[in-house]
Amino acid sequence: MPLHCRSIFLPEHGRIDLRSSVGRLSDQDIAAVVGYIRSSWGNSAGGVSQKQVNQRR
């Protein structure tokens, strides 16, 4: 899956470098982050499933 951003900031974890962290995140974790981004800040895109993440890895 191509990355369109290099890092994210999570209040409980601080800045996370996605380039080195993607391999450590589960499909569920990635789906949750992507779903949050897609539905926040006025965006109206739908959620992302674990299956979709797994297919893109």
Helical segments of 1-57, H only = 18-21, 27-39, 50-56
What is the model's pLDDT at position 26? 86
Please choose, from the candidates 22, 48, 18, the residue with its C-alpha nearest in 3D space to the C-alpha of residue 35.
48
pTM score:
0.58
Contact status, residue 48 vs residue 38, Cβ threshold 8 Å: yes
What is the model's pLDDT at position 53? 83
What is the model's pLDDT at position 38? 83
Domain extents for the chain? 7-56
Task: For the chain of 57 residues, list the mean pLDDT of each consecutive stretch of 10.
Answer: 62 71 78 85 82 83
Contact status, residue 31 vs residue 24, Cβ threshold 8 Å: no
What is the model's pLDDT at position 1? 47
